[in-house]
Amino acid sequence: MISKRKAAIGAILLILITSMSTFVISNMVQIPIKEKVIITKSEYNDLVSVYRKYSKNMLLEDFIKEYYLKDVDESTLLEGQLKGLFASVEDPYSVYMSKDEFKSFMEHTMGVFGGIGIYVAPGEDNLITVVSPIEDTPGERAGIKPGDKIIKVNGKEFTADKMDEAVKLMKGEPGTNITITIRRDIDGKPEIFDKIITREEIRVKTIKASMLENDIGYIRITSFDELTHKDFAANLKALKNKGIKGLIIDLRNNPGGLLDVSAKIADELMGEGTIVYTETKKKEREYLKSDKKMLGLPLAVIVNEGSASASEVLSGAIQDTKVGTIVGTTTFGKGIVQRIKELSDGSGFKITVSEYFTPNGRNIQGIGITPDFVVEIPENVEVIGVENLKQDTQLQKAIEIIEDKIK
């Protein structure tokens, strides 16, 4: 059976041949043609260019099928070519995904999936780097930390250019085990160890709110998915009804998510102005602006090295507009934006299309956002947040800042 792609190339060859009464092929073999098709010189050159572009692919594909030791499915070869096309741009955030891979990827934005509950990103060292574990998931309970490097999954080595394959392997049926090999720098020395983790159904609860002492509201945002803004607005309204005099937003270990959701939350806080703008390689800019009233209360935002992407959009907007104070440690540093597109067969891709800039024009790619008050968490502290307020030095500092502003 002839593939559609080969049929298309064959059609191009036919047009090339029928454009003249006689066409000379290699070895000077002449093929007589009865009918003539008139095309312009420009069209002819375009057709020749297309043939030259794809003839090598066809030749190598046929060679693999003919001589490779094992049988190879044609769809597998085509998928490999598509993956290679995206890999050639050398951007770990731009990838082609098969139907199953794309479905798995989109589950994250919906907030429910089976796995161990960690967010990862490509590191500058080409290693799969943990951005953050998801709260109250197997990954967090196993002690996985931001900055850990995942070097093996079930004994198979992976690097960042194979991250999607590794993520697919880490996902699976709840109740099944998986072994993750981690490299962690401890006191400047790398240590490698295995963790056997049991998968669960991960239901991401992106918003947690509570009332602290002295009428201070606290909202923790763990990621930005489709429901996050709605939940944030509802919890903020509930806290206001309780009479809060200040607000702390905790973005620690928040790996990001949907940019427009992050912008909607900023719109609840900062008043009229620019939240973020993006810029393409053609220097085309798109602005996301806030047009609502300001929060009108003292505001502090806590970040750390696990705060990335959409988290940095929110914290950068708040810092630049001086609506609130940023506390913690320097953020992850992801200042680029991807577009996601599904294809007709269920496969899809994501591709980096622009950089984003804070209101003051800062691009934080590879740099991150430095807090107004840099506060480290002691190394022996495993739990952060209101559950461990006595040891959470970053939250303590945020409370201190809010209390001073209230006074």
Rounded to a whole number of angstroms, the distance between the first and last alpha carbons of the chain is 79
Query: Which amino acid, one-letter code, is at 151?
Result: I
- The answer to whether 357 touches 112, Cβ cutoff 8 Å, is no
* Distinct helix (H) and strand (E) counts, the chain: 10, 21
The H or E element containing residue 141 is: helix 138-141
276-281 long-range contacts (CB < 8 A, ≥24 apart) are 276/313, 276/316, 276/317, 276/356, 276/357, 276/358, 276/359, 277/356, 277/357, 278/337, 278/354, 278/355, 278/356, 278/357, 279/354, 279/355, 279/356, 279/357, 280/353, 280/354, 281/354
What whole-number distance in Å separates Cα of residue 353 and Cα of residue 278?
9
Catalytic residue numbers, as ranges: 309, 320, 334
